[in-house]
């Protein structure tokens, strides 16, 4: 990968978040072990990681929502998006009340939420979320894949 080969500065969240795990998976897929002065682990959330990357004029990997909400305060630009390797899907999974009998679980409510969020109305909300404010959605529903 060009970033590591050229030892171009890269700021990682380094916080074991979903974004950080996706980043690590991408490094592994390219056969790269990110080490050295060029690889900076912020140990922070996405907003602070973006700020550090901007300050250092470094590469980073971010989610769309955080970038769009902060883009007016950043000189960083998006270089790659829509590549399948970058997809980091969210999942909705209700807790199984049979496995967790010691917890008061509203399983019917959870199932209703799953049906709503994966249904036509829920997917339409996801598709439009952020469009009014940022001109593009923050998330992409599963139905457009």
Residues listed for the chain = 145
Q: Alpha-carbon torsion 77, 56, 69, 81, what sign?
A: positive
Give tens-digit pLDDT for 33-85. Answer: 999 999 999 999 999 999 999 999 999 999 998 999 999 999 999 999 888 88
59: which strand partners? Answer: 10
Contacts of residue 137, defined as CB under 8 A and 6 or more positions apart, other chains included, come to 126, 127, 128, 129, 130, 131
The pTM assigned to this predicted structure is 0.79
Domain span(s) for CATH 3.40.190.10 in the chain: 2-86
Residue 29 has pLDDT above 80, yes or no: yes
**Which one, of 9, 4, 34, 3, lies nearest residue 20 by Cα?**
34
Q: Using DSSP bridges, classify how beta strands 59-60 and 39-41 pair: parallel, antiparallel or unpaired.
A: unpaired
Q: Say what angle helices 107-118 and 120-128 make with each other, to 10 degrees.
A: 60
Q: What is the pLDDT of residue 84?
A: 85
Does CATH number 3.40.190.10 belong to domain 2-86?
yes
């Amino acid at each position: 990968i060009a970033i590591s080969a050229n030892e171009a500065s890269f700021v990682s969240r380094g916080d074991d978040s979903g974004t950080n795990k996706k980043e690590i998976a991408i490094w592994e897929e390219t056969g790269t072990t990110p080490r050295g002065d060029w690889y900076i682990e912020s140990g922070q959330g996405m907003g602070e990681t973006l700020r550090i990357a901007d300050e250092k004029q470094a590469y980073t990997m971010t989610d769309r929502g955080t970038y769009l909400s902060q883009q007016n305060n950043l000189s960083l630009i998006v270089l790659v998006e829509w590549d399948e390797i970058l997809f980091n899907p969210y999942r909705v999974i209700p807790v199984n009340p049979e496995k967790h009998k010691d917890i008061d679980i509203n399983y019917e409510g959870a199932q209703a939420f799953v049906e709503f969020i994966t249904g036509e109305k829920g997917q339409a909300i996801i598709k439009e979320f952020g469009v009014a404010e940022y001109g593009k959605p923050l998330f992409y529903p599963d139905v457009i894949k």
